[in-house]
Amino acid sequence: MEYRFTPAEEAFRQDVRSLVARHFPPSRPYEDSPAHRREWIDVLRARGWAAYKWAPEFGGPGWSAAQRYIWERETASNGVPAQLGGMGMMMLSPILQGYGSTEQCARHLPGILNNEVEWCQGYSEPGAGSDLAALRTLAERDGDAYIVNGEKVWTSWAHIAHWMFCLVRTQDTDRRQDGISFLLIDLSSPGITIRPIPTIDGMHHLNQVLFENVRVPIENRIGEEGLGWTYAKGLLTHERTGLANISLSIFLTRRLRGELAKQAELGANPEEGLSLRISELEMELSALEATELRALSELEAGEVPGAYTSILKLKGSQLVQRATTLFLEAAGFWAIPFTREAQAWNAPALPGPDWAAREVSRYFSGRAASIAGGTDEIQREIITKHVLRLR
């Protein structure tokens, strides 16, 4: 059953729109710059909305699932971030609040809320990506600490992070999901090496992280030893819902239509059939939104969508890739990356649409959407087993 918004929720929607329009109107759109990020986080803090998913006891507004949905959709539609704070805010904070000790919450949540401490996620390894239970990074007990040895890979933003939340193996067990623990690791600890992994979008965000006899205090373990898989499953539900990128795809399709209208005014003739493909994408996004609203209805009823997040993740990844591809086609032969070499040479601005180089980068980074947070194949396995009950 699709969720129907109440008059109070629609009033909240108007409040959100007014807030965004007041600070970032169409004449001054939000840009991903330090100045705009600082301004926006100050606005959110003043309203008590900086951590919009948090409960009041942790400093959040205590919004309902419907309010969170409205906030995410309206901010994305206007090109502003729903929240700042990176992985600490989006992914670690629900685990801390759900499973962390009072002392751990008191130590780490303020730095996340104030956007002062950066976090990264230590999950994937060379032999354990989508098959995460195969991880081999070892944490051996030594008095009041663990000694960690191993390797994490594809670690986003590790080079700027202060801390890592990390899955490690504390015991070999018959069932691979057992014997995994959840540690918080200070990345300034001796024995940690971080190496960059370049990517085709021209950005540095992925890294290899090596651990050699890294000492991690026992007090940095979340929950009980050996139950890290249980905690991680909850985190992956948050991650997969966010990685569906439904709001981003809606924002991209709306902006693409606007850019095509500008080209038409200038006498340009976009590729025939492009507008039709945008319409097809919009229809599929509407259908995916309906699925998201069904999940919202379950949340408001106190249920947990669970495996349905895999449907959102699978289809959402495919649609964001299609949206970025359409932008690339609209740019035509201006769809070339603006390289570091060109920046170093102080080359003049490239002709063509001013958004072309940016969307080329987004297109390349979007290729990973069907891998990050669990591959499309893994999502299909989950849907087959837990939604369709075919296995």
Cβ contacts of 29 within 8 Å, gap of 6 or more: 79
CA dihedral 307, 59, 115, 26 (to 10 degrees): 80
Which secondary-structure segment (H or E) carries 339? none
Measure the CA–CA gap between 319 and 246, rounded to whole angstroms: 8
Q: Hey, CA dihedral for 354, 357, 360, 362, is it positive or negative?
A: negative
**Closest listed residue to residue 139, CA positions, set 175, 183, 187:** 183
Question: Which candidate in 151, 239, 289, 292 is catalytic?
Answer: 239
Q: Hey, CA dihedral for 347, 349, 355, 360, is it positive or negative?
A: negative
CB 163 within 8 A of CB 186: yes
Bridge partners, 269 (sequence order): none
Which secondary-structure segment (H or E) carries 185? strand 180-186
291: left (phi over 0), alpha (psi -120 to 50) or beta: alpha
Measure the CA–CA gap between 59 and 51, rounded to whole angstroms: 7
Q: Hey, CA dihedral for 227, 233, 235, 236, is it positive or negative?
A: positive
CB 240 within 8 A of CB 312: yes
Bridge partners, 139 (sequence order): 148
Residue 239 annotated to the active site: yes
The residues annotated with a catalytic role in the active site are 239
